[in-house]
Structure 1
Amino acid sequence: MRFPLKTLALLVGFGCAQPLLAAQCAGTVGFGEANGRVLTQVANRAVGAACFNDLIIDTDAEGANYGSHGEFVAAFGALARDWRDRGLINGREYGELVSAAARSNVGKTLKLRVIAFNDFHGNIDGSTLTQSSAADGFSGVRAGGVDYLAGLVKQLRDGAPNSVVVSAGDLIGASPLNSALFHDEPTIETMNRLGLDFNAVGNHEFDEGKDELLRMKRGGCHPTDANSCQGNAVGTPYPFEGAAFDFLAANVVDSATGDTVFPAYGIKEYKGIRVAFIGMTLKGTPSIVTPGGIVGLRFGDEADTVNALIGKLKDEGVNAVVVLVHEGGYAPGSINGCSGISGPITDIVKRLDDAVDLVVSGHTHAAYNCTLPNRAGRAIPVTSAGNYGRLVTRIDLVLDTKRRDVIAARAQNLVVDRNNVLGAIEPIVPDAAIAGIVANYNALTGPIANRVIGNITATLSRSINAAGESVLGDLIADGQLLATAPAQKGGAVVAFMNPGGIRADFTYPGSPAGEGDGQVTYGEAFTVQPFGNSLVVKTLSGQQLYDLLEQQWAVGQPASGRILQVSDGFHYRHTFSASVSPLGGRYVCDGSVTLNGVAVDKAARYRVTMNSFLATGGDNFSVFSLGTEPLGGDVDLDALTDWFALKSPAAPTAVDRIVKVASCN
């Protein structure tokens, strides 16, 4: 006779020589949980060191995992017959127990735990990462690191017989040096060991182009970079093993073949219940990645893509559908709040077919835990876990085993708390093997990352003022102008920097932003500018400069606009108010654009610096692509390090190059 493992352990004692002590049992035998519990008149008696109720696997805590109510009734029937045959119960009690089991709800539902995160961006080392939430009453909690992330994932999986681990995009790209230097192979390798199942592609998955992203899945060494394939040095396979998990890209189609670059969805089966996971990036990806890397690819509408797949999934016997989408929203407040949710995700969800049961989102780096109405008006859970692996979303789905569909869900964002300061019931045990891989990559990176390139006297922040200008944006633009002003480097007179390319602040000791020490290392500079874009100088007319500035709030830009950072000597005024003024208007005050105190002549020609991302029209700045007489220059990070070598110690400067006014009059 086949017993549950727990029952066998109690009966045979796993070979223990000493006799088992009789359990002290109270009450009567029951089936199920809480309000659905069915009680009998049969006394809860001992079987060696256990009680009847201990041996009936019918609660989540005991690991109940039945594909149907009938499966549970059959399993318990076998156990009850054994009790009867051994004389532990009589015939009447046997009948009462079997009848009660049949009347219970056990096996009519199945629980699935979805463990989700997003926007990891290669942050494998969490030693300097922190998480704060004023609404939740904590600040500066050390959080993250792939070893601790793996530890929490294991903890959550151990508490759930059925589970899946998913990422909503930007797993790689815009990464710290210890992952980016090796083309994010460290992130893929450690995620393999963490047990990631699905990653929906995000825009940053395309940072190095389609072919490199395919290598991330298939494995093998980078065709030109010797930093690739470090397995022999760090303890992973050589050559690079590629992703053991699936990349999903439902809305990314090869124009030549009509096929998706990666599978549109993956299906997992739990006790006969098939659950689909549809993954995709935001439809606006082409405007925020380097155009050359996505030539020949089409990016479809998120909701339309999902809805078109529902019929096919139903034909495959799938009723439960989870969407992993690299697009999101903003909800200020608690990491588990949804107050004032805004952004593209709300429109996407309200257009989704009613077959969708859960949406895991990303891209905005925000943390929220919402229920939002779909096309049918039914509220479904919509979650996001911030960024960098500092939070994880635990989502417990309840599936009806007869309908094979989701009937209930509960979600919670959890901090990947490295020091257990938030009082978790069970402290996180980091994964030692993963920690070793990270340490080995850190050792390879250390001599480069720790080289001091300069000093600062205060935090240099990328936070923008009301006009859209930041201290750090000014500094970076100044560095790029310095690198390209010489005639042989392009003879530039002004430089523009896209704000999305500035990924972190330079922090100073005692600042609320972090734990700086006044020195700036190459590794810190790389974290600020991780993309490795080259600088390009082109000729633009004065009129094109005006047109360029107006594109900051053209239709297609974020509601807050996308304000380019400008180098010293360039000034202008505008009337745009973030999230208030409508996109598509004209907001630059005519005659206010000046260069070194002289009004820009719309008919004149000016040599202008931009990075290679902007040069081909990135971030919807198509005017840059119209420039003539292009000349390539230094890598942007080299320009930044050279600026520090000349200008240290660096101090915050006045942010007055861009001025917001109520009226141009």
Structure 2
Amino acid sequence: MSATPHARRRRPRTNRILAVAAGLATVGTLAAVLPAAAGAATTSKHEDAKQGRYQDVQLLSFNDLHGNLEAPAGSSGRVTEKQADGTTKTIDAGGVEYLATHLRKAREGQKYSVTAAAGDMVGASPLLSGLFHDEPTIEALNKLDLDVTGVGNHEFDEGAKELARLQNGGCHPTAGCYTDKRFEGADFPYLAANVLDEKSGKPILKPYTVWKKDGVKIGFIGVTLEDTPGIVSAEGVKGLKFKDEVETINKYAKELERQGVKSIVALVHEGGLPASTDYNYNCDSPGAGDGISGPIVDIAKNVTPKVDALVTGHTHQAYACTINDPAGNPRMVTSASSFGRLYTDTTLTYDRATGDIARTAVKSANHVVTRDVPKAPDMTKLIDKWNTLAAPIGNRAIGYISGDINNTGTESPLGDLIADAQFAYGKELDPETDLALMNPGGIRAPITYAAKGSEGDGVVTYAEAFTVQPFANTVNLQDFTGAQLIQVLKEQVSGSNAASPKVLQVSSGLTYTLDLTKSGVDRVVTDSIKLNGAAIDPAATYRVATNSFLAGGGDGFPTLGQGTNDLVGEDDLVALEKYLLANSSAANPIAPPAANRISVVR
């Protein structure tokens, strides 16, 4: 295995990703010659002895940035901190200008420092990045000196070919080049160990890479959740196969060990749910991992002890826990919330004698990306450049609101608004449309009332709406029987959604009771399901509007993939814009919906 840095590496730091898994990648290449000014020398035995047996390595990590270059608004831009007296403090957080400052400050005085991410760096991005197919975010990550990231499910929103372009560079195949300078792609490797090309059976990107500095070697393996096809559009994962996370990590950990790499970190785009949403919650109280649940727990318990730490994501939660490995030894598992609001600082103590991490010495903590530090000038310049290009589109007013319309809760005000918008649009396409259903995961941010930039209070701009619904899903109409509609509502709390329910947002007129004191499908009270006050008739036909992702059975709703009499409209952002323009004005803004269509019993 050769020691080869990335050809476009511009960073002045000397710690780099040097060795990669040669021969397994089908996209992306690294240059063969290391620039003399930035090379990492191999130390002699005498130098090792002089340096001491143990060497602390700083691992900085984050996850689920989702192209949030500007400071995210509303609840998406805040974290909560538990105080010593038991109270909770809310802190404004996030923004790549501040993230850069915090990371650079954290690296000061750290000779051995590596920065890694656990997927969803792009996708579901605000207009500033999403409008340009996330080229701005890749440029920002290059400036952040990111060393390596695993892929997440959102890296596949536009398919494997687009992900390869983000890695390698080049103009977008349909949009072309956005500036007079060619997009260079990522300076860091994307890892996708468990994402295989169906035809070749090989990973579509490098499965692992090795970071080296002065005799210290740390391997990184990157995987995304096996269920990615269930939460990404079918077109995005066409021709791909997603393998089990644990089996894949264990396979490549053995391969790394055969190559003499005994210190290994897994970048896993799958996560957990801590018992508290406070970023500094101690999820090891009273014992290791007692305060966390979710898929990452089983993964961590089964990943080989050869792996020394897991950097995770996907659930947008904050935690730094120890979960016992299969040998019963505690192992650090971390996640840094989302949208660049936190970063994790982990100390890995490397044993030069064994080449392994002394796990008993590993320590980790999440830190808030506060906005009380100076903005990084290079990030401000980058944001200004792309904002100038986006402004003619993004600043256009498309509606007015009288207060914040939030996207939190089992049923959210914004969920109701979007469902109503799609219902109204569906009625335009076909007057026989009866209702609309919206998946909560497709609502990416609240619509806030407070002014931003040149926007007046209560004005909703196209950029804000794009941030809410960035996927460019079409609005689809399909026919379902009443029995199928009832089954759809039961799928919110059963099948793949049993452990973590996905409650669909419903348009005006559809009402029912969700009893969370019960279990399984009984949580949906069938007799309570009504449309405009009348019980759903199992034998009748209902015309339902959904987005194209749901219409394909996405998010664990297979019955929604069985509709008939399909009619495909424009994208869902068009539907939202039409609704806001038709139903609001400066004099008569839309009030936040009451979110009273689903009665929840707890």
TM-score by length of 2: 0.85
1:371–1:380 CA contact under 8 A, matched in 2: yes
Provide closer, same or farther for how the CA distance between residues 193 and 622 of structure 1 changes in structure 2, counting only shifts above 3 A.
same
**C-alpha distance in 1 between matches for 2:387 and 2:93:** 18
Provide closer, same or farther for how the CA distance between residues 158 and 178 of structure 1 changes in structure 2, counting only shifts above 3 A.
same
Deviating more after overlay: 400-409 vs 263-272:
263-272
Please, which of 453, 458, 462 is the counterpart of residue 518 of structure 1?
Answer: 458
Please, which of 344, 362, 380 is the counterpart of residue 295 of structure 2?
Answer: 344
SS at match of 1:590: strand
2:247 alignment counterpart: 304
1:597 alignment counterpart: 533
Is 1:396 the counterpart of 2:347? The answer is: yes
Is 1:150 the counterpart of 2:95? The answer is: no
Is 1:494 the counterpart of 2:435? The answer is: yes
Provide closer, same or farther for how the CA distance between residues 574 and 141 of structure 1 changes in structure 2, counting only shifts above 3 A.
closer
Deviating more after overlay: 336-345 vs 528-537:
336-345
| Paired letter, 1:231 | T
| Paired letter, 1:257 | S
Is 1:482 the counterpart of 2:427? The answer is: no
**C-alpha distance in 1 between matches for 2:72 and 2:119:** 23
| Paired letter, 2:106 | L
1:504 alignment counterpart: 445
Provide closer, same or farther for how the CA distance between residues 443 and 495 of structure 1 changes in structure 2, counting only shifts above 3 A.
same
**C-alpha distance in 1 between matches for 2:370 and 2:536:** 53
Provide closer, same or farther for how the CA distance between residues 133 and 659 of structure 1 changes in structure 2, counting only shifts above 3 A.
closer
Is 1:549 the counterpart of 2:499? The answer is: no
Provide closer, same or farther for how the CA distance between residues 124 and 590 of structure 1 changes in structure 2, counting only shifts above 3 A.
closer
SS at match of 1:71: helix
1:256 alignment counterpart: 199
**C-alpha distance in 1 between matches for 2:582 and 2:394:** 20
1:131 alignment counterpart: 78
SS at match of 1:417: coil
**C-alpha distance in 1 between matches for 2:573 and 2:370:** 32
| Paired letter, 2:296 | I
1:335–1:369 CA contact under 8 A, matched in 2: no
1:379 alignment counterpart: 330
| Paired letter, 1:306 | I
Gaps of 5+ in 1: 1-64, 76-105, 233-237, 421-428
1:452–1:519 CA contact under 8 A, matched in 2: yes
1:71 alignment counterpart: 47
| Paired letter, 1:443 | T
Q: CA deviation at 1:138?
A: 7.3
**C-alpha distance in 1 between matches for 2:344 and 2:272:** 16
Deviating more after overlay: 302-311 vs 498-507:
302-311
| 1:75-474 map, 5 Å | 106-126=51-71, 130-136=77-83, 139=89, 141-226=91-176, 229-232=177-180, 238-331=181-274, 332=276, 334-339=278-283, 340-407=291-358, 408-420=361-373, 429-464=374-409, 468-474=410-416
Q: CA deviation at 1:610?
A: 0.6
**C-alpha distance in 1 between matches for 2:487 and 2:204:** 36
SS at match of 2:463: helix
2:140–2:379 CA contact under 8 A, matched in 1: yes
Provide closer, same or farther for how the CA distance between residues 571 and 327 of structure 1 changes in structure 2, counting only shifts above 3 A.
same
TM-score by length of 1: 0.77
Percent of pairs with identical residues: 44
Q: CA deviation at 1:67?
A: 5.2
Deviating more after overlay: 629-638 vs 515-524:
515-524
2:513 alignment counterpart: 573
Structure showing greater radius of gyration is: 1
SS at match of 1:112: strand
**C-alpha distance in 1 between matches for 2:122 and 2:252:** 27
Is 1:618 the counterpart of 2:558? The answer is: no
2:37 alignment counterpart: none
1:164–1:197 CA contact under 8 A, matched in 2: yes
Deviations 1:495-548 (A, max 9, x none): 0000101111122359xxxx9932222111111111111100011111111111
**C-alpha distance in 2 between matches for 1:218 and 1:71:** 37
Deviations 1:52-78 (A, max 9, x none): xxxxxxxxxxxxx995773266x6xxx
Deviations 1:418-442 (A, max 9, x none): 314xxxxxxxx54322321111101
1:131–1:390 CA contact under 8 A, matched in 2: yes
SS at match of 1:114: strand
Gaps of 5+ in 2: 1-40, 284-290
Please, which of 575, 590, 594 is the counterpart of residue 650 of structure 1?
Answer: 590
Please, which of 529, 536, 542 is the counterpart of residue 469 of structure 2?
Answer: 529
**C-alpha distance in 2 between matches for 1:255 and 1:533:** 25
Please, which of 543, 550, 558 is the counterpart of residue 607 of structure 1?
Answer: 543
| Paired letter, 1:358 | A
Relative contact order higher in (CA < 8 Å, ≥ 6 apart):
2
**C-alpha distance in 1 between matches for 2:553 and 2:600:** 25
SS at match of 1:496: strand
Please report the RMSD computed on the Cα atoms of aligned residues, expressed in angstroms: 2.3
Q: How many corresponding residue pairs?
A: 540
